[in-house]
Amino acid sequence: MRLCKRSEFLSMNHQTKSYVGRLIIIKVRPNKLLRTRLGITVTKRFGKAHDRNRFKRIVREAFRLSYPKLIQNFDLLVRPRTEAKTTSSTQILQEMVYLIGRH
């Protein structure tokens, strides 16, 4: 249930709809599969490795918890904003559910 290949991440730059929140940015694009997939992009500019890994763990857990509520057949690409480094996991979870719910 993840975007794995580089080509899948690159294709998220075309025909996507972006939702920008205070903590994260989500790009959404329909796919031809029967499930929703998740991709996470965190650059070194975000922080040290433990900060990037913490963000990825939080987003994967938020995706796992909100998966039953999601509309199927979509690819999601999640990117952090600077404030995401200092916030709690519950705030990121709430914002992710809110932004996905807007779609």
- Which residues are paired to 79 by β-bridges? 25
- Rounded to the nearest 10 degrees, how much is the dihedral formed by the CA atoms of 79, 49, 62, 4? 70
Q: Considering the domain 6-101, what is its CATH architecture?
A: 2-Layer Sandwich (3.30)
pLDDT (mean) for 73-102: 88
Note the pLDDT of residue 52.
94
| pLDDT tens, position by position, 6-59 | 888 778 888 889 999 999 999 998 888 888 889 999 999 999 999 999 999 999
> pTM here?
0.87
